Structures are given as structure tokens and as C-alpha cells.
């Protein structure tokens, strides 16, 4: 029974809509109080299995190379592994001084990387998955909104590197949904048509089907789309 309880604690995962679990931690950029230090920003909190491993190295180089893209979307990157601070520092220095990947080199990681030797944070966020490893965090990604609410989570096995275009697309999709009160369809990309919320009454459904609103197309009462330009999506405050 005790082993079962411990395992349940290890793989407990915050759910979509939950308040992001709070913690204080030492990082490569100093101490942080999470998520309070980033109030008002979106956060991508992501874990990786270990320092000085090839897949993780490729991911950190990619995140660091694209950090400005996420910053432009009001998004803070925060990494985590259960290695120690000095290991983190040595690894990041090695990345900058020695590693080249897909044309990227001399890459400096300036976003915080959390030291989590005790696995305290990893357990809070369900990043330790016993079926995969009891000593390494899987590749978890948490999207946390400016109010500190978990909005999405994606988990990858140790063997598979993340798709960073998809992480950026997901962030923009959630920001678009918040800004315009819409949903995004399958394979949506910024600039594609978005989905208008389904009609909540017969009257609204009838009005919608008869509406000639510019830019809105209704295929049936429950499936209507409208255009949001790339500029509107990327600059929602100008809507």
C-alpha cells in the first residue's frame, strides 16, 4: 500500500484548468518563485531527462535559438531536470563552446534551468513516470497562462525530441482563443480561418444561418468559420 501511494504521488499531474503548483527553486538564472515571478506572462515549463544527453542538447539549443520568438508572444521559458546546478552550468557552457546542430552554434541559454535533485518539482508536476524511468524526468511541457492557470500539457517519451513549431502553434492558438472567443480547427495555422462558437439556442442558430456577416461562413448551424488575418492573430491588442 505504501509503494502504491508513493507511486501515485510521483505521477500526479496537474490538470487543465488547475492552478499551477507553486514552488521556489534554484536555477541557472538565480532563485525563482514560480509562477509568481512571471505573473502577467505565459509560461512554458518543460522538463528534460538529463544534462549532457544528445536529444536534450538539441532541444535546449533549439529553445534558446528561438527564445526571442516566444518572448515576442509574452511567453517565458523555464526548463527543469533533476541534475544539480553545477552540472547545469557545465552543460550549458559546453553547448555554447562546443556544440553545433542544424547550423546553430555558440548558443547561449539565458532562460532559467531549474535544479531539482530532490525531484520535488518534478513530482509536483508528474514529470517522473515510473513506467519510463524512476530517475529521470520525461519530456513534459506545461503551458501556463498569465493568471497562473494550466492551459495545456504535452508529454513525450525520453527517446523523442519535441516539435518546437507545434509548441509555438499551440501557444498562439490559445492566445487567439482568449483574445477573440473562438476555437481553432484541425491543423490550424495562424492566418487560417477559425471556428465561431456553436450556437446556444435555436434562435441564434437560425440567425446565424441567415446572417450575411462579412467573413463568416456557415456550413450548418453548428459549424461556422470566420477569417482572422495573420496580423490580427499576431497582434491581438490591435483588434
Catalytic residue numbers read: 56
Residue 139 marked in a binding site: yes
- What is the 8-class DSSP label of residue 74? T
Cell of residue 152, nine digits: 495545456
Other Cβ atoms within 10 Å of 207 Cβ, number: 13
Pairwise CA distance, residues 185 & 191, whole Å: 12
What is the Cα 35 distance to its own chain's centre? 14
Pairwise CA distance, residues 133 & 39, whole Å: 32
Location of C-alpha cell 559546453: 94
Cell of residue 143, nine digits: 503551458
Closest among 161, 166, 182 to 232, alpha carbons compared = 182
Pairwise CA distance, residues 78 & 48, whole Å: 11
Pairwise CA distance, residues 228 & 216, whole Å: 10
Write out the binding residues for substrate: 139
Write out the binding residues: 139
Amino acid at each position: 500500500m505504501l509503494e502504491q501511494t508513493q507511486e501515485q504521488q510521483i505521477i500526479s499531474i496537474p490538470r487543465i484548468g488547475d492552478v499551477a503548483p507553486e514552488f521556489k527553486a534554484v536555477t541557472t538564472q538565480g532563485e525563482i518563485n514560480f509562477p509568481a515571478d512571471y505573473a502577467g506572462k505565459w509560461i512554458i515549463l518543460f522538463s528534460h531527462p538529463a544534462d549532457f544527453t544528445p536529444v536534450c542538447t538539441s532541444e535546449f539549443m533549439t529553445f534558446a535559438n528561438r527564445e526571442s520568438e516566444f518572448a515576442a508572444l509574452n511567453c517565458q521559458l523555464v526548463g527543469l531536470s533533476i541534475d544539480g546546478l553545477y552540472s547545469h552550468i557545465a552543460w550549458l557552457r559546453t553547448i555554447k563552446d562546443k556544440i553545433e546542430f542544424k547550423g546553430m552554434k555558440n548558443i547561449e541559454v539565458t532562460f532559467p534551468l531549474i535544479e531539482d535533485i530532490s525531484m520535488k518539482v518534478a513530482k509536483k508536476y508528474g514529470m517522473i513516470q515510473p513506467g519510463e524511468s524512476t530517475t529521470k524526468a520525461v519530456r513534459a511541457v506545461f503551458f501556463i497562462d498569465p493568471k497562473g492557470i494550466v492551459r495545456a500539457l504535452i508529454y513525450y517519451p525520453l527517446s523523442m525530441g519535441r516539435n518546437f513549431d507545434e509548441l509555438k502553434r499551440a501557444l498562439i492558438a490559445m492566445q487567439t482563443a482568449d483574445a477573440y472567443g473562438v476555437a481553432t480547427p484541425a491543423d490550424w495555422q495562424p492566418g487560417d480561418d477559425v471556428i465561431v462558437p456553436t450556437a446556444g439556442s435555436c434562435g441564434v442558430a437560425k440567425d446565424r444561418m441567415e446572417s450575411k456577416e462579412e467573413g463568416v461562413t456557415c456550413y450548418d448551424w453548428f459549424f461556422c468559420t470566420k477569417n482572422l488575418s495573420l496580423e490580427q492573430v499576431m497582434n491581438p491588442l490591435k483588434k
